[in-house]
């Protein structure tokens, strides 16, 4: 039953995304950046990532002011890194005011060599 609850929560997060998340999704969906596929609100361990590219092992989190210097975000980032993902945190105002710069940052992260899978390297 837990899996069904997780799917329902992911669906809830997708339907209730922020303006910044919706704008970024329009630019990264359908393999628009170098052919990399992103998914929204994907569960990785105990966490739901805003956007994830499994092929590049890249998580993109779009954060508002509530995330400013929160220790829980640092713990979350360490857990995702331990699972083999690079975490890229982008502020809402960056997406809203400089989408081209945000897309360049994501592009650069995608084109880097992917980290080794968790437990290797």
Residue 83 lies in a domain: yes
CA distances, 58 to each of 4, 12, 82 (Å): 25, 22, 13
pLDDT of 121 reads: 46
Helix (H) or strand (E) run with residue 60 in it: strand 58-63
20 has pLDDT over 80: yes
Question: What is the rounded distance in angstroms from the CA atom of residue 69 to the CA atom of residue 66?
Answer: 9
Q: Mean pLDDT over residues 84-94, rounded?
A: 92
pLDDT of 45 reads: 87
pLDDT tens digits, 61-83: 998 765 456 677 788 889 899 99
Helix (H) or strand (E) run with residue 63 in it: strand 58-63
1 has pLDDT over 50: no
Residue 120 lies in a domain: no
Total-model pTM: 0.77
Q: Mean pLDDT over residues 87-92, rounded?
A: 92
- Compute the radius of gyration of the chain from its Cα atoms: 14
Q: What share of the chain is helix, strand, coil (3-state, %, to 5)?
A: 50, 20, 30
Q: Give the CATH number of the domain where residue 106 resides.
A: 3.40.960.10
- Contact indicator for 103, 94 with CB cutoff of 8 Å: no
Q: What is the dihedral of CA 56, 87, 21, 32, to 10 degrees?
A: -20
Question: What is the rounded distance in angstroms from the CA atom of residue 50 to the CA atom of residue 63?
Answer: 9
Q: Mean pLDDT over residues 11-21, rounded?
A: 71
Higher pLDDT, 89 or 72: 89
Residue 118 lies in a domain: no
Residue range(s) defining the domain that contains residue 24:
2-111
Q: Mean pLDDT over residues 106-115, rounded?
A: 81
Q: How many domains does the chain have?
A: 1
């Amino acid at each position: 039953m837990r899996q069904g609850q997780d799917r329902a929560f992911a669906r809830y997060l997708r339907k209730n995304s922020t303006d910044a998340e919706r704008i970024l999704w329009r630019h990264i969906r359908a393999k628009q950046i170098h052919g990399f596929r992103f998914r929204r609100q994907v569960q990785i361990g105990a966490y739901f990532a805003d956007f994830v590219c499994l092929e590049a092992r890249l998580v993109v989190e779009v954060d508002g002011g509530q995330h400013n210097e929160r220790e829980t975000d640092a713990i979350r980032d360490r857990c995702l890194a331990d699972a083999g993902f690079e975490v890229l945190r982008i502020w809402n105002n960056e997406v809203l005011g400089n989408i081209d710069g945000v897309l360049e940052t994501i592009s650069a992260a995608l084109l880097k060599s992917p980290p080794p899978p968790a437990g290797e390297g």
